[in-house]
Each structure stands twice: as C-alpha cells, then as structure tokens.
Structure 1
C-alpha cells in the first residue's frame, strides 16, 4: 500500500543534481563527494588508522526527563549543556515522540512550553506562535543547525519526526546562533547520527480514515573507518473530509568517515516529497465557527498542494589539538512547491451558500548554496567559537496574477467542481540573495560554580529582485547585529539559576521575497531580559525548570497619519512578558508525570492601522495561557498514558474584535513491551472528539483541528 510512495520518489544522490553555473557558484554537488572521498583516501594513506571514538549504545528507554545534562547545539555552539545555558531550552527525545505518537513535527513541537500551532497549507504547514510573536519571520526552523531561507513566508521541512534523535526549542531571541527571524523562538531537529554498532528500527502503523505509515532506520559500520545511517519514512491517509487525502515520503542518509581519531568527514543526502491535505479552512457562519462544518472541504476537486525538498551536505571536522578544532560545512538545499486551490470562502447569509474566490496557482523554485566555516578554541576555562556563514539563494515565483475566478457552492455536501482561472500562470519575478553572518561566542567557566556566556553576531543580506513581466526591480542591503550576555550559577549540585540579556532582529517580510513596498524598511529589533532556575530533584524524583522574561520589539511597521492614513512607516513597537514552567516527575517507579505551563501578556505599545490606534491590543494568534500534561503509569510490561493540551483564546483581528475560542484536547495511548525488541501501541488522538480551530486563513475562514483518530502501531528494534 505504501510502496507507491517510495517507488515514485527518486532518492539517488544523482537526483540532487545542481543547476548550471551562475555568478554565485563555482562548485557542484559532485565536487563535494569527490572532495570528501579524496580527503578520506589521502588521510588513510598518510597514517595508520587511530583507535575509533568510543560509542555508547543505550537500551530502549522512555527517554523521559528534561535532558538537563545534554549538550545543546541549539542553545549555543560552545558545547554547554542545557543546565549550564543561561537560556530557556527544551528538548523532546525521539523516544518521547514515539511514546506520545507525535509523528508530525508540528505535533511534537506544540507539546513544549508556550509553542502553539498556527499553520496552514499556505505557509507550508510549519508556522508557530511563541512568547507573543508569530509566524515564519519570528519563529525559526532548522534541521541539524541549518536553516533554509524563508521565501514568501513558507517553511516545509522537516515535516515529520522520523529519523531525528531529538527536537530542541530555544525560546526568545536566537539571532546570535541562527541569524535573523528568530526573536520568538527557534526549533532545531537534531538527526540521528551513524553508529559503529549495527542497529535497525522499524515502525508500522495503521488507523482510522485509511491512514498508514512505515518507518525504517538502519545504522552500522561499512568498514574500519566508515559508518552509515539511513532513515526512510512514508505515510498516506484518506482523511476525514472530501479531498482529505494526504501522502508523503522521505529518505535521509548519512555517510561518516573517521580515517583517524582526530579527523571526520560526513556526507548527507536527503529527499522529501509531501502532498498534504488540500484543506484551506471552513468559512465563519455569521462571524462564528460552525462545528457542523468541521468535515466539509470547499476546495476544487483538482486542487494541488505539493512540497518537494532536496538536501545535500558535506562536513569536515579536524581536532588539531586538545584545545583547537576546525569545522567546515558545505550545503545545497532545494525546495520546489506548488499550490493550485480556491482559497477564499465567504458565507452568504442571503443565499445560504458559500461564495468562493481567489482561484490561485503559485509555484516556488528555490535553491540555496552555502558554506559555514568555524573554529573552536578551548583555552583555560573558556570555550570560544568563531565562524562565518555564507549562502546564495536563487528564487523564482510563478503565479496567475489576479487569481480570478469565482463560484458558489452549498454549505453542506459540497459539489467541488474544478479549478479554472482566466488569468494565466507565468513566472512573475526572481530574486538573487547573498547572505553572510559573522559570529563569536565564549563560554567562560569563571569558577566551578559560575559560567558566563557571551556572544556577538553580525548579519548582512543583499537582495536583488528582477521583475519578469515588467515593472521595477530592486537592489537592497539589510544588516543587523545581535548580542547575548548571560550567567549561570550553581546554587547546589543539582540546582542552577541564570539571568541573561539577548537581542535579535526580524524582517518585516520574508527577505528572499522582499518587494518594493518593503524595500526601504530595516530589520526590526528585539531585546529580551530573562531569568530562570533549573533543578534536578534528589533520588531521581525528576527535573523542573522555570523562566520569567520580557521581550521588547521595536521598529515594526505602523502608519503615519500625519502624512497619509495609509502610508506605512517604521516606528511601531510591541512587548511580551511571561512565565514558563516545565517539569518531569516520577513519584513512584511505575508513575511518571510530564507537563508545562506558559502564561504571558503580549501587547502593542504603538501601532496604527487605517487611522485606528491599536495601542494596548493583543497581537493575533497569541494565547495568554498554554498548558500540556502527560501522565504515564507502568504495570508489568504495559504502560497506559493520558495527555492533555490546552490553548487559550486567541484574537483573529488586530482590533481584538474577533476571536478563536480556547480548547482542550485529550490524547491517550496503551503500549505493550512484548520483549526487548518489540513494542505494540494503541494510540487515540483527540479522544473526546473536540471540535476546535487551530488557526485562521485570511479574515473569512478557520482551519479545524483533526477529529478523533485511532491508530495501532508496531515498533521493532534489532
């Protein structure tokens, strides 16, 4: 059943071929592979193989806890653990993902403190709200520390959790580590690395609505110096509504070569093809959600949503001495996307019909090439990292212009019809972007109890936009500098407190698709003050963390009514402040609790739109209360788990006149450890079949969350 997903998916390295030369590039994907092979061969001939690094193999555990003693590459590149970092960092392990049944990336992310899902197919299905800030220009998304530049507000990768060791979330400004567009939070999916010990893990699942998924992961040695990791995943579903079919597949592969104990090379080649549900929401009826419409779909029968991602990366690491190492990473990323949909649905109370408009077709063709060079130096008491990132992004946007076309359909039992627009689909513009970032971090263990972390980064982006059907293009350069300064103090062997100041910057729109209306706007600036505590309780009882913060964002776009009611200028501002709690407790050997709570207040300090002053209003899509709770009870070889997720009321208009109601969703699972290699799980999502809205799409419609869904899963590890 799922074989078609893989057989139609090209996964060879050759399929990740580079396009022809341009003014930005002089190397190609084959050069990376040849260079790595040559390095490995020369290094092997130059010296006898040194003892391989020690590999620790652990058994299959729940992976529970807050992972406070785990180094976090998301929080800092200096190697500090989560406990040592003067920042709010949370990790979700691969074992927790399986235990909860969070196979979609957005499901796993929204189990963490304060992160809520506001995604739609229009933004790639990966858009979030955190600490009072929303969307792809404030919440960054990375895979193994590498971000694909955001174009037209779209993020499509990574879409699922298979193949990742853990998912880390750094809350608050992260520009020192990840650059622009990260004032609210940054999400980093850390992939599983190759191991010298052979292992295979598989997942087979089937459930309601024709859903099925298969996952396979394998790792092991190739010879004395080489090892590999391959992860493949596929899914399909008929969905709960018309046009609800979804399918997807991916392949992740890593080749690691350790010719000597101080030298390592890696080559990664990945491919992903996703065809998510073609659902753009349900219209409000008399300005309210109508639960009876949650399984209706108002799109065209021949609509299309398709995301294709290709990735090729090469890494080289050299430990020159015990205190000095150098790392270099070259990469090629490609994203091709297509949407063909009827996207606007308005309920007509006079006819009791739904009027459909915006017959839109869009195609994205985006390639990104780059290099990150880094030096790590560890003089006495310090861990210093300095680096340079360089990338070029080529993007072409194709659409059907005015997106003409209209029709009316019944409110229930929709006759979908086909997509047809009088406007031709053609390439409209292309952009060439050059992005550079220079950064330095220093983690100083001033005493055995005090760690000082400082960092500085400067980003510079040059965008050239060319109109392909007439009109004016642009050449614009934007730059921003970010900083962080924090300290962590050990009050007791298991208790740390911290305080930090951090700053960052967000674009007012996606930099890669900068347009004439926004070309003269500089980057917005965000500044945060945060303090917190991280503690592990005695006798393995559990861990807990708490953080308080305030973020001020300046230079957002507002309007200057003294010039014109519709003239956009910079000079607006907003702020958020809040408290976040996370905990993992084990009252008994059989009983475990996991949970988090985020309470915040977010307001515009100064904002004018259409001559209306919105000072004091809450930003859209920002709930003031978010909570998650899981309880697990083990009896023999069985474990029963129940989870709850609460998201508070959100506004859908900047005037705070329209809202989406709060909701609570319950999930449950029952797992049976048949033996050390086999686990069987029964999963139940949205057990109470709650009707709720995740987000809005425009001003006229909202996207319902999934109804109740059951799934049976078998996991095998060899």
Structure 2
C-alpha cells in the first residue's frame, strides 16, 4: 500500500505564566531587572466557534486541547444548534463538515456517510464516550438534542478511542452535567404537520456533596406523509456525589420510548423521485414500529495525587424494538403498477453490560492513559418468515392489513464478549511539538445459536488499531499536524454474523492526514483544513469464475475538508464548511457485477454548509436573524452507478427574539423554497425524499 505522507510541523509559545515566573526567580537571584518580555495577546473564542481551545475529550483520552490534537475534530455547541433552529440529532451532526445523513428525517435512526464510507458499520455514534451495541444497522438513540450540551465529531479512523466500526468518523454526544448552581429550563414548541414538543430541565445542589441533573422531553407530529405520525419521549437523570475535591461518583439512569413514522420512502425511476407518488405511503395501515431503550451507568473518578487518577464506569443497556412493515416499493411505469416487497415483521431484544477501567498519569511532558474495557452483548432476534409480494395499481389504495397471520417466532440468539486494551500518550517535545501515540487491541468472542436450523457456530474476532500523530505550533494561535492511523470495521454487524460470513475477519483501514488549525483576529475567527487518504482492505468480494466469496476487495477515498467561523463585526457572524471527497472501489465484485472504479452509493463528491447570523439590539430586546444553506452534490443510488440522485441546495432560516436574558422566542423555517430532492437513496428504485417546507415556533426559558 502506497501513501504520500506529507510532513507536518508545528510551533507554539510556552505559557506566559511560566515565563513570568522564571523571570521573577532570575531577578531574585541576580538583583538584575528582568529581560524584556514579548507582548502577550489575550484572545477570546469566537461565539459559535469550532472549539479549538477546548479539551479534545472525544478525539483523545489524554484531554489535550483540540488545537493540539493531530486529527480533525469539530465541536457543535447547544447555542449553535439553537441559533440554527435544529433539534434533531441527525440534522445537527449532518451539518458538520463532510457528514451526509442517510436515514429519513421521519425516522429516529442515526446513520451517516463520512470520508467515502457509509452506515453504522463505518460511522459510529457514542454518548459521553461510550458506544453501545448496534443490531441490524439500527442506532436510534439519541434522536434529539434535549439534555445535551455539545456534539463532537472525530473524522477518520477512530478505533483507537471507540473500537471497531469507526473508520469514517465518530460522533460523540455529550450530555449536560450536574451543577452546584440551580438551573431550570423549559422548552415549548409547535409547528407544521401538527407537531408539538415539550422539554423540561433542572439541576442544582441537594446538599453540600450531592448535585443532580434531570431532563425530560416529549414530542408529537402527524408528519408530512400518509401514516407518518410519530411520537416519543425520554427521561435523563444524573446524580453526583462529590465528598472531596479528589473523589467524584455519579449514577445515571435514562429511559426512552419512541414510535417513529411508518414510512420507508418513495419509488424512484433511475434514482429520481416520482413526483406523482410523493407523499403516499405504501405500508400497511396496521404497520407498527416501537423502540424502547433503558440505560443505567455508574461512574467514579479518584485523583490519587497530583499526577495519577483512576476512573471506572459500569453500564447496562437494554433495548426492545419491534417492526411490522412493507419496506420495498418499485414503480413499473409501463403498466402503471407498484411492486411491494420486503414484508418484514421483526423484533430485537438487545442487552449490553460493560465496564471501563482507566488510569491517567500526568508525568511532566507525558500525559499517559491506560485502559481496559470489557462488555458483553446479548441479542435475541425473532421474525415472521413471509416472502410475499404484491402488485397494485398506481391509483389503487395501499394494503390495509398485514397479509400474514403466521406468528412471530424466535430465529436466533447471539452473544459477544469483547475485551479492549488501550494505551495513549501525549508527549510534549519542548514548547512547540507534541507527539501523540496510541494503540488499542480489541478481542471478541462471538457465539450464535440458530433456533431454526443447524447453523450455530462460534468464532473469535480481533483487531489492532493505532495512531501516531505530530503537532507543531507555529504560534499561540496556529498549529500544523500530521498523522497516520489504522482502524477496522466489521464486514457486517457483529451481533448479526451468520453462517455465510462466519469465516471473515475485520476489515482494515489505514489513513494518512495532514491539517492546519488556526485562531485569528484576537479569537474572533477560527478555521481548520484537513487533507486525507484512507485505504480499506479485506472487503468481501466474489470470484467471477468460482462464484465464491473471499476478503480481497479494496476501497480508497481521499479528500479535503474546510471549516471556519468568523465574527465580522459585533452584529455579523459567518459559519461554514466544505468537503471534497473522491471515493471508489479499487477491487470489488457484488452479485456478479464488477464494481472496480465505481463510487460507493450515497457518497457525494462535494458537500457544503453556510450560515450567516445578524444580531441587533433594540428597546424591546435582542434580535437575531439567521440564513443557512446546505449543498449536496450528485450521488449514485447503487454501487453499480446505474442510477443517480441529483444534487441539491436547501435554504433554511431562523429568527429569534430575546426580550430578556432568560427568555427566547424562535421562528425556524426549513426548506424555504419547498424544494423536492432526494435525501438518501435506499436502492436504484426507492429513496427517502427530503423534508418539504416546515415552520416551527419555540419558546425557551431559563430560571
């Protein structure tokens, strides 16, 4: 494998406090006046900025500043997504550089494409640094932003921090923490399609050593399509006990219950949406989707002395999910008919218990982290085996009942026990250089019990991830970096491995990345640029002669990513990002078709986001007007590149009024021109349409 490795250098100033202390000691020893010190500029961080001065809790476990991290990491704060009028997590993550949402806006599943790689097997989702089990490519939580303070997106192979299944990127959603100060928050909202939402948040001290955080949220909408009604709610709670400054213990308990829309897209012709069919739902009237999650976590952190701390996190997660739907639709223009298929009745019962023990050592120039994580996931799968299909006329009503009376029967159970051992060291080589090195070994013992046939088996999976990065600070505000890293993805979801893919190992991906991060204009502007190349091996392909599958496929992607924020004046602020990616299969055969040289489906060459905010004060309060645009270029609807989904640009806007510091009223408008476009393709004959024009009105209060 060949790489063009570009050198990266960085230089930085030593902290001003150390310089002043050194000069003071010199004067006391010699009696001479101190040498003339250079002028020190004190900079602020741009409002709605990229978070370059913040600790990179999602990019490295050592806690170094994002500016010093030799990797591409983006922060999105609660203030930023509120100003844009966003509340769905898919929208918030999807506006970060190079991220393309894949799941429908009406369904609470978090699936994205990044750097040429797509789906939950390559783009991971974590909450407070913990990734929970993914079953059948379903990651429904957290669906909305209430109760969270920021989102951090680490791009490129993230296996060193989060384990397998993170070659494209990982989004870590960070929840709000207990505080000693009393906090009360209320959100009231209404909008198009009969939507309504209510959020309640509270935090504060219960005693000298106890504090808490509690968040509750509920929502409802009729939806913009037939049978697109959706509702749900959640409760998030954290109790913190901190008897001393050195010891902190927390107990977290969450529960959520979602009933998403029973909508699986609309038929297409050559990848293009058929306008006459838009808005119709070809599912059954008695279709059903239920998603229930429960989470419990206990965390403890103890600072043994000035340079050693120990932390432990024990967690348990349980999910009960059920689907009964017709999910595939094909339009036949010649006969003016629709073919309905994929009659799926499924249930998932997923339980995961895990523990992470970690030691952090701050030894002078070294910030070292050593950890061990173990988790065991159990997955029970039941289905109604029905392979039926139907032909209906375009103007005929959809089916009104589930056509199969067979019972839902257990199909298989799986169990996976994974041990992860990792070490990471941030080594300061003088004042201007930082070397970050890390290694992680994942080992999984997998067992599948087939309840309907003789297809039970067990296997072991293992993967080694590593990262070596170098940061060079040109000055106090500018850093250059370079890194090489290795990560791994499963050939399919680990918990649903079957007899057909039991002999396959994890795929391997290697990346080289260089970039620059800079704050300028006394902190009123920030920008980053990153260039990368990723090569992924061991993709499952097929021998054209023997028709046997083997791990000989290869894929690569390379690209450029730009992000920036600039406060032009006290009234104007601009935010934007741009991503250019070239991705293709170098060697791959699927279903007898040679895909070499083809671009993976749902991977656009270009994406961009731009927001402009104007703020003004008046006698009746503070106003802010925001205008944003999202651009996604043409994509292919299938890996063979025979069907194409056109590119699109969608305009959004928001207007907020803050009559007093603790009250904000916000009007949000989505898809101002009511543009018809493809959000993501399911296949060459079916796609999720983008959301039409929507208006939301919210009121936000703090006490």
Instruction: Check whether TM > 0.5.
Output: yes
Counterparts of 1:122-201 in structure 2 under 5 Å?
125-201=109-185
Counterparts of 1:311-460 in structure 2 under 5 Å?
311-401=295-385, 403-411=386-394, 414-421=397-404, 423-460=406-443
The residue number in structure 1 matching 2:531 is 548
1:576 and 1:484 map into 2 onto residues whose CA distance is 19
Decide whether the 8 Å contact of 1:63 with 1:93 is kept in 2. Answer: no
2:106 and 2:229 map into 1 onto residues whose CA distance is 17
**Structure 1 residue corresponding to 2:503, chosen from 510, 516, 520:** 520
1:342 and 1:605 map into 2 onto residues whose CA distance is 35
The residue number in structure 2 matching 1:676 is 661
Q: Per-residue deviation at 1:353?
A: 2.4
**Structure 2 residue corresponding to 1:620, chosen from 586, 601, 614:** 601
Distance 1:122 1:429, change over 3 A: farther
The residue number in structure 1 matching 2:573 is 592
**Structure 2 residue corresponding to 1:468, chosen from 451, 464, 472:** 451
Decide whether the 8 Å contact of 1:286 with 1:349 is kept in 2. Answer: no
Q: Per-residue deviation at 1:485?
A: 0.5
1:123 and 1:426 map into 2 onto residues whose CA distance is 26
The residue number in structure 2 matching 1:234 is 218
Q: Does 1:712 align with 2:693?
A: no
Counterparts of 1:695-706 in structure 2 under 5 Å?
695-706=680-691
In structure 1, the gaps of 5 or more residues are 1-60
The count of aligned residue pairs is 655
Q: Deviations over 1:266-294 (max 9, x none)?
A: 00000011111111011124763212332
Decide whether the 8 Å contact of 1:165 with 1:190 is kept in 2. Answer: yes
The residue number in structure 1 matching 2:260 is 276
Q: TM-score, normalised by structure 2?
A: 0.91
Q: Per-residue deviation at 1:541?
A: 3.0
2:229 and 2:147 map into 1 onto residues whose CA distance is 24
Q: Per-residue deviation at 1:538?
A: 2.0
The residue number in structure 2 matching 1:578 is 559
Q: Deviations over 1:336-361 (max 9, x none)?
A: 11110011112233431222222210
The residue number in structure 2 matching 1:635 is 616
Decide whether the 8 Å contact of 1:163 with 1:217 is kept in 2. Answer: yes
Q: Does 1:288 align with 2:272?
A: yes
Decide whether the 8 Å contact of 1:281 with 1:704 is kept in 2. Answer: yes
The residue number in structure 2 matching 1:535 is 518
The residue number in structure 2 matching 1:5 is none
Q: Deviations over 1:430-487 (max 9, x none)?
A: 0011011000000011111111100000001111000112222010100000100001
2:389 and 2:367 map into 1 onto residues whose CA distance is 61
Counterparts of 1:635-674 in structure 2 under 5 Å?
635-636=616-617, 637-674=622-659
The residue number in structure 1 matching 2:7 is none
2:603 and 2:427 map into 1 onto residues whose CA distance is 37
Q: Deviations over 1:613-652 (max 9, x none)?
A: 2221111111000000000011211110000001111112
1:318 and 1:540 map into 2 onto residues whose CA distance is 35
Decide whether the 8 Å contact of 1:374 with 1:386 is kept in 2. Answer: yes
Decide whether the 8 Å contact of 2:637 with 2:682 is kept in 1. Answer: no
Q: Per-residue deviation at 1:424?
A: 3.4
1:435 and 1:286 map into 2 onto residues whose CA distance is 43
1:189 and 1:99 map into 2 onto residues whose CA distance is 18
1:446 and 1:425 map into 2 onto residues whose CA distance is 62
2:675 and 2:271 map into 1 onto residues whose CA distance is 20
Decide whether the 8 Å contact of 1:63 with 1:94 is kept in 2. Answer: no
Q: Per-residue deviation at 1:296?
A: 1.4
Q: Per-residue deviation at 1:124?
A: 5.8
**Structure 2 residue corresponding to 1:223, chosen from 181, 184, 207:** 207
1:291 and 1:125 map into 2 onto residues whose CA distance is 25
1:358 and 1:222 map into 2 onto residues whose CA distance is 53
2:194 and 2:341 map into 1 onto residues whose CA distance is 31
Q: Per-residue deviation at 1:62?
A: 9.5
Q: Does 1:477 align with 2:466?
A: no
